[in-house]
């Protein structure tokens, strides 16, 4: 039985629609979703390959527990163990790390879970993008702009955001791109490319040509920051010139998670990990970017779909579900919250992540 | 086979009401499923609204009702779905001319077994991209696209029917002058009646409540006869006038298509400088290749070491688009899928269609129609 089902691409924060082709309950390919307003059936390579993770060899299919090495376990054993460890500690000794790939529903459940345990050390790594709540530009604003400033290689990293820049250029917009490399894909398709050595310096001494062009029909697209303070600087620039700002973050729910959980940069992340004894990681792989911080941790619980550096270091691994195996919602860069359905069952004994959080809560006798 | 024309409609009342033009197509599918002549029917079903056509495999004739009615805002392609995922099934498929052309090319390349397939053709004046349709209805009809319950392309007009049963229509020519209307590939397409299917069904020339069917193959002839004998459809002969009107509609549309070919492939064909600008945008995402129903090689040359440059974008157009062009342009059926899916808005199909047309003019080989393979086709790929 072949079926074509709409979903939202989990590969980046643009929030493109994509169709998954399933055959006998297995995802076998993708098909253009031309009715979707964000991307009109166009997807980048990463998007079209998004389903391949589902069948990866490193997929975690059963709960794992450390007995010397990580060995196969069962839900009862790992949940009891997790509950016992959590119960033995005060809220201040527990840390919870979600990810920008967690659905809105997972973030909400984690927040309630943390509140019930008086855990304040909670957040998700959002690279250098801080929490913000200002109104951002829309894809239509971008496409209809007369001037666009692009920070980072948005055409390459987020092609379906890049497409709107291309469309704007076709309509006569002037595009100025800036980034660190000598040459970028966005740069060669812009009217002008400015190679920089520091985003902060670039913003502090904003080119007079750019300043003169920024007005109510302009958009700044920012795909990278070196420090969270730079977003505020950008916000000041667009506020002064009445132009629009679109921050393009890394993960499919970076923007949604921000509304529920603290957005952490590298320093915040290190501080969080180093201040707790037990860490519960959901959907991220922090060991791969800050291994040092894990040295003093007593107990590590990881909820993940595939083996990664963090699961390898964990005491307990809880097998979670990929987006197509659970359903939920993601909020994209331009603040659209889009629901997506469960399309296939989770692999092996894996469970959807909200269920796992609730199962731990049950073991702890907490309700929310 | 000499062309044979008839008018047909459903005997089942539900299908008669919900189906397009008397529901003959749905009834023929119902016959095929009920009598176990096929394992499944591949057709379009409505998704969230009339702009959302989703390829659906129907295995129980009770579910056919979901696929009743035509959708013009669903530029889908079935060729690859069949060759990749449904090869093992006996299938009936509702084909637009471009679907039928893709299937034909894939049959010629032994990627689809034509014996397992019933191709029920649908006459096609062209499709409109769903988001373009919504923008156009808002902008030119000044109607909320959500209030449209049905759309129709007839006599050069794009007609919308609203929730209150009222109609609003505008000339497609005017919409297309403004960059809206049918996809540019559809504007250039000369295959309005899929004569490479088993039968070709449509509403041109017909009377209300009846489907005009042109029988094309002996398989198609038997199909329609058996569907009638088994009580699924009733048929009658069309009037000479109906046949003449249908012929006239077709020839007008073909003339228009030729005019558009001239416009897009000659007069307004992008300059070399403009092509350089287009190729500069390429992010080497392979979307064009993957969407092309004719590109089927298991090992694509583009991913072979000798063509792989450093991985930097843009790729050298000679060893990227150029290689693809040399492999498939002779067979290009102008379905436009490559262009539809290009994230960087490169009008890829233009160069492919232009090349195919040149090749056709020189050799007489029409992709998707001719029975043989293009003369430069390399059999080593099979």
The answer to whether residues B138 and B153 belong to one domain is yes
Sheet containing B167-171, strands listed edge to edge, beginning at the edge strand earlier in sequence:
B148-154, B157-162, B167-171
pLDDT 10s digits, B15-39? 998 888 999 999 999 999 999 999 9
Q: What is the mean pLDDT of residues A304-323?
A: 97
Cβ distance B6 to B213 under 8 Å?
yes
Chain A residues touching B59 at Cβ < 8 A: 1
Please give the residue range of the domain that contains residue B150.
130-181
Kindly determine whether residue B287 and residue A43, on different chains, have CB atoms separated by under 8 Å.
yes
Kindly report the CATH class assigned to A139-247: alpha beta
pLDDT 10s digits, A32-74? 999 999 999 999 999 999 999 888 889 999 999 999 999 999 9
Would residue B289 count as lying in a domain? yes
Distance CA A134, CA A254 (A): 15
For residue B209, count CB atoms less than 10 angstroms from its CB and return exposed for 0-12, middle for 13-18, buried for 19 or more. middle
**Nearest residue in chain A measured CA to CA from B54:** A4
The answer to whether residues B194 and B76 belong to one domain is yes
Kindly determine whether residue B285 and residue A44, on different chains, have CB atoms separated by under 8 Å.
yes
CATH 2.60.120.10 fits A2-55, yes or no: no
The answer to whether residues B96 and B231 belong to one domain is yes
Cβ distance A64 to A350 under 8 Å?
no
Q: What percent of chain A has pLDDT over 90?
A: 97
Q: What percent of chain B has pLDDT over 90?
A: 82
For position B134, which CATH number holds? Answer: 3.10.450.750
**Nearest residue in chain B measured CA to CA from A34:** B130
Would residue B220 count as lying in a domain? yes
Kindly determine whether residue B285 and residue A48, on different chains, have CB atoms separated by under 8 Å.
yes
CA atoms within 13 A on the CB side of B202: 29
Of B199, B229, B259, the last residue of a domain is B259
Q: What percent of chain B has pLDDT over 70?
A: 96
Q: Quick check: B74 contacting A, CB < 8 Å?
A: yes
How many domains does chain B fold into?
Answer: 3
Q: What are phi and psi of A15, to 5 degrees?
A: 80, 40
**Nearest residue in chain A measured CA to CA from B338:** A42
Is residue B185 helix, strand or coil?
helix
Distance CA B372, CA B131 (A): 38
CATH topology of domain A64-127+254-363: Rossmann fold (3.40.50)
Residue B306 predicted with pLDDT over 90: no
pLDDT 10s digits, B35-88? 999 999 999 999 999 999 999 999 999 999 989 888 999 999 999 999 999 999
For position B56, which CATH number holds? Answer: 3.40.640
CATH 3.40.228.10 location in chain A:
139-247
Q: How far away is chain A from the Cα of B43, in angstroms, using its nearest Cα?
A: 12
Residue A300 predicted with pLDDT over 60: yes
pLDDT of residue A38: 98
pLDDT of residue A53: 87
Distance CA A332, CA A247 (A): 10
Distance CA A176, CA A149 (A): 5
pLDDT of residue B38: 98
Residue B186 predicted with pLDDT over 60: yes
CATH 3.40.50.740 location in chain A:
64-127+254-363
| ipTM of the prediction | 0.95
Q: What is the mean pLDDT of residues A267-280?
A: 97
pLDDT 10s digits, A125-146? 999 999 999 999 999 999 999 9
The answer to whether residues B171 and B199 belong to one domain is no
Taking all residues of chain A, what is their mean pLDDT, rounded to a whole number?
Answer: 97
CATH 2.20.25.90 location in chain A:
2-55
Q: Report how many Cβ contacts below 8 Å link chain A to chain B.
A: 97
The answer to whether residues B254 and B288 belong to one domain is no
Which of A4, A34, A44 lies closest to B343 in CB terms? A44
Residue B361 predicted with pLDDT over 70: yes
Spell out the alpha helix ranges (H) of B151-301: 172-177, 184-188, 218-229, 240-262, 272-281, 287-291
Instruction: Please report, for residues B109, B297, B299, B376, the alpha-carbon distance to residue B380 in angstroms, rounded to integers and kept in the order given.
Output: 11, 10, 12, 12
Would residue B264 count as lying in a domain? no
Kindly determine whether residue A6 and residue B57, on different chains, have CB atoms separated by under 8 Å.
no
Q: What is the mean pLDDT of residues A229-247?
A: 97
Q: What are phi and psi of A288, to 5 degrees?
A: -70, -20
Would residue B319 count as lying in a domain? yes
**Nearest residue in chain B measured CA to CA from A166:** B344
The answer to whether residues B70 and B208 belong to one domain is yes
Kindly determine whether residue A2 and residue B281, on different chains, have CB atoms separated by under 8 Å.
no
Interfacial residues of A (vs B; Cβ cutoff 8 Å): 1-4, 6, 19, 21, 23, 28-29, 31-32, 34-37, 39-45, 48, 155-156, 159-160, 162-163, 166-167, 170, 185, 188-189
Cβ distance B309 to B319 under 8 Å?
yes
Q: How does residue B376 score in pLDDT terms, banded at 50, 70 and 90? A: low
Q: How far away is chain B from the Cα of A220, in angstroms, using its nearest Cα?
A: 19
pLDDT of residue B380: 53
pLDDT of residue B312: 72
Is residue A175 helix, strand or coil?
strand
Kindly determine whether residue B281 and residue A167, on different chains, have CB atoms separated by under 8 Å.
no
Chain A residues touching B67 at Cβ < 8 A: none
């Amino acid at each position: 039985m072949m079926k074509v089902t709409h979903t939202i691409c989990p590969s980046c924060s643009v929030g493109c629609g994509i169709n998954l082709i399933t055959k006998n309950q297995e995802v076998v390919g993708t098909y253009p979703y031309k009715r979707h307003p964000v991307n009109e059936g166009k997807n980048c390579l990463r998007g079209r390959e998004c389903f391949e993770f589902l069948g990866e060899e490193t997929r975690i299919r059963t709960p794992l527990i450390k007995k010397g090495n990580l060995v196969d376990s069962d839900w009862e054993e790992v949940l009891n163990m997790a509950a016992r460890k959590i119960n033995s500690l005060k809220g201040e000794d527990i840390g919870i790390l979600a990810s920008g790939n967690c659905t809105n529903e997972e973030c909400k459940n984690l927040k309630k879970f943390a509140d019930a345990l008086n855990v304040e050390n909670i957040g998700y790594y959002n690279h250098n993008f801080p929490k913000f709540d200002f109104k951002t530009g829309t894809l239509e604003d971008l496409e209809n702009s007369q001037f666009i400033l692009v920070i980072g290689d948005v055409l390459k990293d987020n092609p379906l955001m890049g497409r709107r820049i291309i469309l704007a250029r076709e309509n006569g917009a002037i595009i100025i791109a800036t980034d660190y490399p000598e040459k970028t894909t966005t740069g060669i398709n812009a009217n002008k490319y400015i190679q920089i050595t520091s985003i902060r310096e670039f913003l502090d001494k904003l080119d007079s040509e750019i300043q003169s062009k920024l007005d109510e029909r302009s958009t700044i697209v920012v795909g990278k920051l070196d420090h969270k303070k730079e977003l505020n600087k950008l916000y000041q620039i667009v506020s002064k010139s009445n132009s629009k700002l679109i921050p393009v973050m890394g993960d499919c729910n970076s923007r949604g998670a921000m509304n529920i959980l603290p957005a952490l940069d590298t320093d915040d992340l290190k501080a969080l990990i180093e201040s707790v004894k037990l860490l519960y990681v959901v959907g991220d792989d922090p060991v791969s970017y800050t291994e040092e911080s894990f040295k003093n941790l007593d107990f590590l619980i990881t909820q993940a779909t595939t083996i990664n550096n963090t699961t390898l270091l964990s005491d307990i691994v809880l097998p979670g579900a990929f987006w197509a195996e659970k359903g939920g919602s993601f909020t994209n860069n331009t603040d659209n919250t889009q629901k997506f359905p469960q399309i296939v069952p989770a692999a092996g004994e894996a469970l959807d992540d909200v269920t796992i959080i609730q199962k731990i809560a049950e073991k702890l006798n907490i309700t929310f | 086979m000499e062309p044979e024309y008839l008018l047909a409609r459903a005997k089942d009342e539900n299908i008669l009401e919900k189906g397009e033009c008397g529901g003959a197509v749905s009834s023929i599918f119902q016959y095929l499923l009920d009598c176990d002549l096929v394992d499944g029917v591949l057709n379009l079903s409505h998704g969230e609204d009339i702009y959302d056509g989703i390829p659906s495999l129907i295995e129980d004739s009770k579910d056919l009702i979901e696929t009743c009615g035509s959708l013009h805002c669903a530029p889908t392609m079935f060729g690859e779905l069949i060759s990749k995922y449904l090869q093992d099934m006996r299938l009936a498929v509702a084909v637009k001319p471009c679907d039928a052309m893709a299937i034909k090319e894939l049959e010629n390349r032994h990627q689809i077994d034509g014996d397992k397939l019933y191709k029920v053709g649908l006459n096609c004046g062209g499709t409109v991209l769903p988001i373009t349709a919504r923008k156009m209805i808002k902008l030119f009809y000044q109607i909320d696209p959500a209030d449209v319950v049905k759309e129709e392309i007839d006599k050069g007009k794009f007609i919308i029917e609203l929730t209150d049963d009222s109609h609003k229509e505008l000339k497609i020519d005017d919409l297309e002058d403004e960059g809206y209307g049918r996809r540019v590939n559809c504007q250039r397409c000369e295959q309005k009646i899929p004569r490479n299917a088993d039968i070709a069904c449509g509403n041109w020339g017909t009377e209300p409540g009846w489907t005009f069917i042109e029988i094309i193959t002996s398989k198609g002839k038997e199909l329609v006869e058996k569907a009638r004998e088994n009580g699924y459809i009733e048929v009658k002969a069309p009037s000479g006038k109906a046949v003449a009107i249908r012929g006239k509609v077709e020839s007008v549309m073909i003339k228009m298509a030729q005019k558009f070919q001239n416009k897009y492939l000659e007069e307004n064909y992008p300059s070399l400088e403009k092509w350089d600008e287009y190729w500069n945008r390429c992010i080497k995402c392979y979307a064009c290749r993957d969407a092309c129903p004719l590109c089927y090689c298991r090992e694509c040359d583009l991913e072979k070491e000798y063509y792989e440059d450093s991985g930097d974008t843009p790729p050298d157009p000679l060893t990227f688009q150029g290689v693809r062009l040399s492999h498939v342009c002779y067979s290009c059926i102008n379905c436009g899928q490559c262009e539809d899916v290009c994230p960087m808005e490169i009008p890829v199909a233009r160069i492919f269609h232009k090349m195919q047309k040149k090749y056709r003019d020189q050799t007489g080989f029409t992709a998707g129609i001719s029975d043989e393979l293009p003369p430069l086709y390399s059999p080593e790929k099979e």
